[in-house]
Amino acid sequence: MKKLSFLSLSILVFVACTSTAPKNQHAPLTYFDLKDYIATEAKRLTALNPEIDKTVIVNKASERKKLKIADWSKELSSFSDADINKSAWQGLFTAEKAKDSETYLSNDEKVPVKSLIVNYRNGKIHGIKLLISNTNSLYTSNDTLSYFPDSLYEVKKTQNIKLLNGKSYAITGRFN
């Protein structure tokens, strides 16, 4: 009898502590949803399968090829990785919205994304530009990412590591 009472009490406590309220899976985002936008673009580009004129420049040595991108999510990952809606970054950006643009800026040293600018034309996204800066006692890197749907995407990066020569590279993809 004691075992049955204890079991009943345990179940009652468990049920009472379990929340029956539905959990909000999709809380509204504070800033522009770059991660979702890039995921949508990757799906769209996968379906279109456009030919890309891609140029890679590393310390002034360049290579250029025309190709089809097999994995657009991976190709555009630098953009989706720069999502500014991370919970740790909430409240660390100032937002300015105008008719044809949205600008998000942060001067917080914990946040590598320093700016995100989204430009619109006729109500659609015309271009996105990001500035990313990482600095510590041994290393400095600065990235500029640009995306223009069906036109161009570009990632430019400079790195300076103490006691080593600086390095720079640029990846540019032009849609044909």
Cα–Cα–Cα angle for 58, 59, 62, nearest 5°? Answer: 50
Stronger pLDDT, 175 or 11, i.e. the higher one: 175
* pTM of the complete model beyond 0.85: no
Cα–Cα–Cα angle for 143, 90, 134, nearest 5°? Answer: 25
Query: What are the tokens at 77?
Result: 């990952």
Q: Are 168 and 158 in contact (CB under 8 A)?
A: yes
Dist CA 73 CA 38 (whole Å): 8
DSSP string, 10-48: HHHHHHHHS--SPP-SSPPPSS--HHHHHHHHHHHHHHH
Query: What are the tokens at 117?
Result: 């600018």
Instruction: State pLDDT tens for residues 22-34.
Output: 444 455 788 999 9
The neighbour count for residue 169, using CB atoms within 10 Å, is 16
Dist CA 31 CA 106 (whole Å): 12
pLDDT of the residue at 43: 98
9-13, 75-79, 89-93, 160-164: the lowest-pLDDT one: 9-13
Percentage with pLDDT > 90 across the chain:
75
Instruction: State pLDDT tens for residues 35-88.
Output: 999 999 999 999 999 999 999 999 989 999 999 999 999 999 999 999 999 999
Q: Are 148 and 162 in contact (CB under 8 A)?
A: no
Q: Which residues contact 92 (CB under 8 A, 6 or more apart)?
A: 106, 108, 110, 111
